Structure 1
C-alpha cells in the first residue's frame, strides 16, 4: 500500500521524534542590492520544507539588509528584510547573496562585520557574487571557493591568487560557497544531510522534485557546452581548454595535443559540429565573455580587453565591433 504525501510526512516525523530537539539553527542571508531572488528562495524553501517534514522548527532564517530594510532583487522586486547589520541576531551561519553588480561589496564596515561574525564562530558562506565580497574582506585566503562561471574571469582579474573552482559549490574548512541558481538547492540539501538521516533527504528531494542530487564534485555547465552535450568528447574537451584560457589564448596545435588528436582532425571536428574553425570559435568565446563583462561589471574597458586575451585596445575594439556592431565603449554606454 502506498502512503499519501501527508501521511508520509507524519510517519517520517514520528520516526525522528527520538532525535533530541536542539535549539534551531539560525541562518542569516545578507542580501546586497541586486541579489538573486532565485538563490534566496531556493535556500529558504529547502529550510522550510525540512521544518515541515521534521514537524518542528529545526531551522530559523533571517533576511538581513546592509542598512535600509527594503532591498531590491535583480528581478526588480523589493523585499523587506527582517533585520539590518545594526540589529542582526546571533547567527550560526551567514550567506552573502549578491549578483554581478556587487553594490556595497567594497564597504570596509561590511568587511569588519563579516570578520567579527566569523570570530564569533558563525560559519560564513557566499552565493553567486557573494564570493567577491568575502575575497575583498580577505576571508578566502588559502581556501577553495566557487562562483558562477560568468564571474570567474572578473574575479581572477581582481584576485589572481584566488583558489577558484568550477564546482557547483565548495566546502573548505567551514567555508561554503555556491555558484547560485538551482545549485543552491543541492548545497542546502547537503547541509541538511550532515545533520539528519537518509529518510529525510529522500523525502526532501521528492518534495522539491529534485531528479538527481548533485554533489560538490559536479561542475557547472557553461555556454556553449550545454549545446554540445551530445557532441564528441574530444570536442568538448577542446572547448573546455579554450574556456579556461580566455586570458591567454592557446594555439590550435597545443589544444589538439592536449585532447589527443591531430590539428587537422581538430579542424574537422569544429567545422563539422560548430560550423567554424577552432580559431574563429575561440575568438567568439573571448568576445562573448568580453560582452558579458562590459554589460554586467564595472571593469574598465582596457581591463576587459586584457581579461579576454587582447594586448591591444584597438585590436580588441575592431574585433568587438565586427562581432556586435558596437565598439566596447559604445556597448558599455548602452
Structure 2
C-alpha cells in the first residue's frame, strides 16, 4: 500500500515587519451588506496569516456602539460607537440597503469631523452615498453598486461616477459592493506589501481572477441578455445611454445599417418584444430606481426618463408595474 503524501501547508511570504499594524476601522451601517464587509475583513486576516506577521488590525464601530444587523438579518457585535479614530487609520463605511435612511445626520457630522484629520475614507457597496451626502466626494471619482447608479448620478451630478468595481482617488476609496471588496483589498495589500502577498491571499480565497479598477462591474450586454449579436448589442447600448432623450427605432436601425423592419425582427427573434417595448422597459426601470432612491419629484423623474407628460408616465408605469408612481413611492416610504 502506497502512502499518500499530505498536502503541503501554504507557504508564507516574508515581508518587512512594520512599526505597527495598519489599522482599518469598519463603520457598519444599519442593514449593511455582509458579503462586502466579510470579503474585505477576511482579506486582511489572510494577509496576516500568510505573512506570519500582524500587518493589519481592525475594529468595528457603528452608531449604536453595541450591535448592528446586516441586510440578511445577522447581528454583528461592535467594538464601539462613533468615536475618535487615529490619524493613520483607514475608515471604511459599509453600506447596504436603504442607504439614504442609514446615512443619518450624526453619521454625516462624524464623517466630516474625521475627514478634517486628513485620514483615508472609503465607502463599500452603497456607502459612497454616505460619503457624497457628507460632501466628501466633491470633485472626486467614485463608484457605487450599479443598482444605485441612476439615483446617485441624479442626486450628485458634481461627482464623477464611474462603472468600475472600485476606485481610489487620493484619500477617497469606493467600491461597487459584493466581491469587489476582495479586489480592492488585494490592490491595497499589493500596494503595501507587494504582489506576491496579494496573490497568495487570492489563492487562499479561491479567487482566480483578480480584477483592477479598470474592470467594470456589470456583465457585457451580450452576456446579460444571452445574445451575441453585435448589431443588437450596439442598439441596446445606445438605448441605455439615451434614456432622458429617447431615440426613435428608425434612427437606431439606421445607425447599425438596418431597416426598421429588420430591427423589429431582430428584437422579436432574440428578445421576444419590439424595440419600442424594450426601450420603454429600460426607461421605466430607471424611473423605478429614481423613485426608490431619491427625493426627486414625480415630474422630474418622468423628465429624466424621457416622458414629457406626467400622465403618460403614470399610465405607462402602472401598465408595467401594476401601481402608479405616486403609490409606489408612498408604499416604499
TM-score, structure 2 length as denominator? 0.87
Q: Matches of 2:142 and 2:222 in 1, distance apart?
A: 22
**Which residue number corresponds to residue 200 of structure 1?**
197
| Contact kept? 1:132, 1:155, Cα under 8 Å | yes
Q: 1:34 to 1:225 in 2, by over 3 A?
A: farther
Task: Please tell me whether the aligned partners of residues 100 and 151 of structure 1 are also in contact (alpha carbons under 8 angstroms).
Answer: no
Taking a change above 3 Å as real, the CA distance of residues 91 and 247 of structure 1, as seen in their structure-2 partners, is farther
Question: Can you list the C-alpha shifts for 1:201-235, whole angstroms capped at 9, x where unaligned?
Answer: 22222111112111111112169764335522332
| Deviating more after overlay: 295-304 vs 268-277 | 295-304
Q: Within 5 Å, give how 1:19-38 maps onto structure 2.
A: 19-38=16-35
96, 103, 123: which one aligns with 1:105: 103
| C-alpha distance in structure 1 between counterparts of 2:316 and 2:220, whole Å | 20
1 CA distance for matches of 2:202 and 2:264? 44
Distance 1:290 1:224, change over 3 A: farther
Please tell me whether residue 148 in structure 1 is matched to residue 145 in structure 2. Answer: yes
8 Å contact 1:36–1:73 — kept in the other structure?
yes
User: Shift in Å at residue 294 of structure 1?
Assistant: 4.1
What's 1:74 paired with? Answer: 71
Q: Is 1:60 matched up with 2:57? A: yes
Correspondence for 1:271: 268
Q: Is the 8 A contact 2:148 2:293 kept in 1?
A: no
Change (3 A) 1:197 1:276: same
**Contact 1:305 1:313 (C-alpha < 8 Å) held by counterparts:** yes
Structure 1 residue 302, shift from structure 2 partner: 4.0
**Deviation readout 1:27-49 (Å, 9 max, x if unpaired):** 11211112111111111011111
Q: Residues 111-130 of structure 1 correspond to what in structure 2 (within 5 A)? A: 111-130=108-127
Q: Distance in 2 between matches of 1:288 and 1:226?
A: 19
Query: Aligned pairs, how many?
Result: 326
1:209-248 equivalent positions in 2, closer than 5 A: 209-221=206-218, 226-228=223-225, 230-248=227-245
* TM-fit CA distance, 1:299: 5.1
Q: 1:197 to 1:311 in 2, by over 3 A?
A: same
Distance 1:53 1:309, change over 3 A: same
- SS at 1:66 equivalent: coil
Q: 4+ runs of 1 displaced by more than 6 Å?
A: none
Q: Deviations over 1:100-159 (max 9, x none)?
A: 41224251x433322332332311111222111111211112211111111111112212
Secondary structure at 1:195's aligned position in 2?
A: helix
2:151/2:293 contact within 8 Å kept: no
* 1:84 CA drift (Å): 1.1
How far off its partner does 1:277 sit?
A: 2.0
Q: Does 1:139 align with 2:136?
A: yes
In the alignment, does 2:81 pair up with 1:84?
yes
CA deviation map 1:301-328 (0-9, x unaligned): 4444334332322211111121122222
